[in-house]
A and B are shown apart, each in its own frame.
Chain A
């Protein structure tokens, strides 16, 4: 399985943007729902795990060059967030898992890669 296939199947992700947003591999991950904390602590290329579904998430993600946004708890993004994500080329996913479960599974994947 390639990089994205592994992540998508392990976290039970649904990709909501187009396939062409999956250009680059993710390098790590950060979990947070306080946007100012994410702004201060996430790094470019990270997957960002959050409960938020509004478009400010996409603005923060684009500012940081986030590798992808994962919305947890089965929540669906607002329509304008989805449009922005497509425009910015940021893959946007949803998962039925919660923040803890999603982080745990990603941690396994990224720690194996070393």
Chain B
């Protein structure tokens, strides 16, 4: 994958395939300690502790029409080739948490890429989904919750209507860019 946002989409699709209707995606960039962390947390059917090592296996899938399941192994590989840490854990209540931690400045780390695209693709789906997106950049944070957004719009306008999705995409792009604005390149080096 050329962008981490594509891996995020893959993992989020796993959550939807596991019946999740609540998804929290958190991207934390901390340039000062050189970390980029991605967390995807769902309330789906979960993975039993015994199956957690198996889902890392590229020849493991529960999809009937497939022989290989590549979403998780490819994400894991993208993390480990940078010397990062990839983890899958059961969520405290129910569901699953996938965490990928990278050295922010590693040359082989793919760029984050089109996060706004990933979020709007997820929102365009047919199933009702509460999606919370948080993006931390050093001490600053931007967060977005489709629930707040829905109450702002009123219940009559579906979030997945094209106009709303376009607006949502722009809103995300602008706010993520704003987070990074004040911190100059000279001060921190690489962004994104």
Q: Please, could you name 27 A-B residue pairs with CB atoms under 8 Å apart, sorted by A?
A: A34-B1, A34-B2, A35-B70, A36-B74, A37-B2, A39-B70, A52-B77, A54-B77, A55-B58, A55-B73, A56-B58, A56-B70, A56-B73, A56-B74, A56-B77, A58-B58, A59-B58, A59-B59, A59-B68, A59-B70, A59-B73, A60-B58, A60-B68, A60-B70, A62-B68, A63-B68, A84-B59
Q: Is residue B54 within 8 Å, beta carbon to beta carbon, of the partner chain? A: no
Please encode chain A, from 60 to 97, with 1 for each CB lying within 8 Å of some chain B CB and 0 for all others: 10110000000000000000000010000000000000
State how many residues of chain A have any CB contact under 8 Å with chain B. Answer: 15
Contacts of A63 in B (CB 8 A): 67-68, 70
* Chain A 33-58 residues near chain B, CB threshold 8 A: 34-37, 39, 52, 54-56, 58
Q: Is residue B6 within 8 Å, beta carbon to beta carbon, of the partner chain? A: yes
A34 vs chain B, min Cβ distance (A): 7
Contacts of B59 in A (CB 8 A): 59, 84
Contacts of B68 in A (CB 8 A): 59-60, 62-63
* Nearest B residue to A55, CB-CB: B58
State how many residues of chain B have any CB contact under 8 Å with chain A. Answer: 11
Judging by beta carbons under 8 Å apart, are B67 and A36 in contact? no
Please encode chain B, from 50 to 90, with 1 for each CB lying within 8 Å of some chain A CB and 0 for all others: 00000000110000000110100110010000000000000
A90 vs chain B, min Cβ distance (A): 13
Contacts of A59 in B (CB 8 A): 58-59, 68, 70, 73
List 8 tightest A-B contacts by C-beta distance, closest first.
A59-B58, A59-B68, A56-B73, A56-B58, A36-B1, A63-B68, A56-B77, A35-B74
Please encode chain B, from 1 to 42, with 1 for each CB lying within 8 Å of some chain A CB and 0 for all others: 110001000000000000000000000000000000000000
Bound-state CA distance A84–B58 (Å) is 10
Bound-state CA distance A37–B58 (Å) is 17
* Nearest A residue to B78, CB-CB: A35
Contacts of B58 in A (CB 8 A): 55-56, 58-60
Bound-state CA distance A76–B167 (Å) is 50
B77 vs chain A, min Cβ distance (A): 5
